[in-house]
Structure 1
Amino acid sequence: MNLEPVVNTCADGCCASPAVAQDRRAALVRRVRLLVAATITYNVVEAVVALAAGTAASSGALIGFGLDSVIEVASAVAVAWQFSGADPEARERRALKVISISFFALAIYVTFEAVETFFAGTAPETSRTGIVLAAVSLVVMPTLSAAQRRAGRELGSASAVADSRQTLLCTYLSAVLLAGLLLNALAGWWWADPVVALAIAVVAAKEGRTAWRGQHCC
């Protein structure tokens, strides 16, 4: 069995990984492609459902969650593009930049929506569809994230690991959304969602900076 060294472009060589068997590397690349395709498919469905439910319930949180899914798709497409070529490592840095920008865009948008919702003080209507969607995402997204993170680390691919963190961040947003929708529906605590969303925005900004520096697989 021939061994082929994995070359990556992480900053300061922090992602340097041991040699990976050629057939194992090919299997890992196929796995990343499948996981990215699954992530894109789920997020497209998630975006459509969340935007429709958010519009019906006048829920800024649901609409924001739907737009976050659009950003998730952009991140996954960047990784899909990287691994569609014969030499994924050569496209590593450009894919990381796209993922980093998507993190920053998410942080800015979530912050804007949270502040606007907090000062407006307008409680959205109860959305059963949104509650179910957030609950399902809490199961699906961490599963996809963990699988892609394992494959990305074994490959030494910073972009695959960064995209898995983007997916994991969607899990946090799902939890925030679910908590906000339930607290609004059961206790009338409309302010819970924007407060926690601001914390998520801080995490998103931190992840964006890490992706920009190419340190996600360290």
Structure 2
Amino acid sequence: MSEDNRTEPPSTAAAGCADGCCAPAGISPIAPAVATLAPARRAVLSRRVRLLVSATIAYNVVEAVIAIAAGTVASSTALVGFGLDSVIEVASAAAVAWQFSGRDPQARERTALRVIAVSFFALAAYVTVESVRALVGGAPAEHSGVGIALAAVSLVVMPVLSHLQRRAGRELGSASAVADSRQTLLCTYLSGVLLVGLLLNALFGWSWADPVVALLVAAVALREGREAWRGEHCC
């Protein structure tokens, strides 16, 4: 048979899908990747995802308590919003933890993705409402050294957790683990926005800077929510 008439093997037919996550319609996006993993490797990756999710939950609980308390003291909607984002991140991570606590994580994939998508939508809605309210006449926030320190620490911690979970999720072929890693990465963006806003407010009194940039983060959250709902995060 000539090379021109050969049919490319199904495993390599989809260009740009080396991780096996992009499957035709009607086929589970995680099935091809998971099928190629040895049971021992799959167990290691599942355990790694559970550990990373647990670390994310623990950090975000502490972050939420500190941010909401500091935001209340400083009358900062940005800090309070950041704390509530941490609560949403806990819900997203808990959904992945629930998925991988069962014997068949694949069976719980769709439900976990739905929970993550809803958390993105809730975050986008909250950030938008609070940003608009701050722009049209909200009370200016006071300086918060605790908030600045918290945002700086989160800028270091969150990217590491996001990268490790995304890498494990992609190898495992889990769209929900990848989606949750993006939720964690979005928290990194919010940390950066919060830090810039708090610094500009503390140094120059520019209270409008934070809500303006936060609206851009809300747009990103909305996009991520749509992708999680459609199960497109794996690729």
Normalized against structure 1, the TM-score is what?
A: 0.94
Q: How do 1:66-77 and structure 2 match up within 5 A? A: 66-77=83-94
Distance in 2 between the 1:67 and 1:156 partners? 29
Equivalence for 1:195:
212
Contact preservation (8 Å) 2:158, 2:184 = yes
Residue 103 of structure 2: SS of its match in structure 1? coil
Q: From the CA coordinates, give the structure whose radius of gyration is larger.
A: 2
1:8 Cα offset (Å): 7.9
Residue 205 of structure 2: SS of its match in structure 1? coil
Equivalence for 1:181:
198
Distance in 2 between the 1:126 and 1:11 partners? 52
Equivalence for 1:44:
61
Amino acid at match of 1:132: A
Gaps of 5+ in 1: 1-6
Distance in 1 between the 2:206 and 2:114 partners? 38
How many residue pairs end up in the alignment? 213
Equivalence for 2:159:
142
Equivalence for 1:211:
228
Q: How do 1:16-35 and structure 2 match up within 5 A? A: 16-17=32-33, 19-35=36-52
Check if 1:97 corresponds to 2:114.
Answer: yes
Distance in 2 between the 1:101 and 1:10 partners? 24
Contact preservation (8 Å) 1:158, 1:215 = yes
Distance in 2 between the 1:213 and 1:121 partners? 36
Check if 1:166 corresponds to 2:177.
Answer: no
Per-residue CA shift, 1:122-172, capped at 9, x if unaligned? 320000000000000000000000000000000000000000000000000
More moved, 120-129 vs 196-205? 120-129
Contact preservation (8 Å) 1:11, 1:214 = no
Gaps of 5+ in 2: 1-19
Equivalence for 1:119:
136
Per-residue CA shift, 1:53-106, capped at 9, x if unaligned? 000000000000000000000000000000000000000000000000000000
Per-residue CA shift, 1:158-211, capped at 9, x if unaligned? 000000000000000000000000000001111110000000000000000000
Q: CA RMSD of the aligned region, Å?
A: 1.8
More moved, 121-130 vs 12-21? 12-21
Distance in 2 between the 1:190 and 1:57 partners? 13
Amino acid at match of 1:44: V
Moved over 6 A (4+): 7-11
Contact preservation (8 Å) 1:10, 1:214 = no
Q: Which one of the candidate residues 127, 145, 160 is aligned to 1:110?
A: 127
Contact preservation (8 Å) 1:8, 1:92 = no
Amino acid at match of 1:124: A
Contact preservation (8 Å) 1:75, 1:99 = yes
Residue 215 of structure 1: SS of its match in structure 2? coil
1:10 Cα offset (Å): 6.8
Equivalence for 1:157:
174
Distance in 1 between the 2:198 and 2:138 partners? 15
Distance in 2 between the 1:72 and 1:10 partners? 28
Residue 136 of structure 2: SS of its match in structure 1? helix
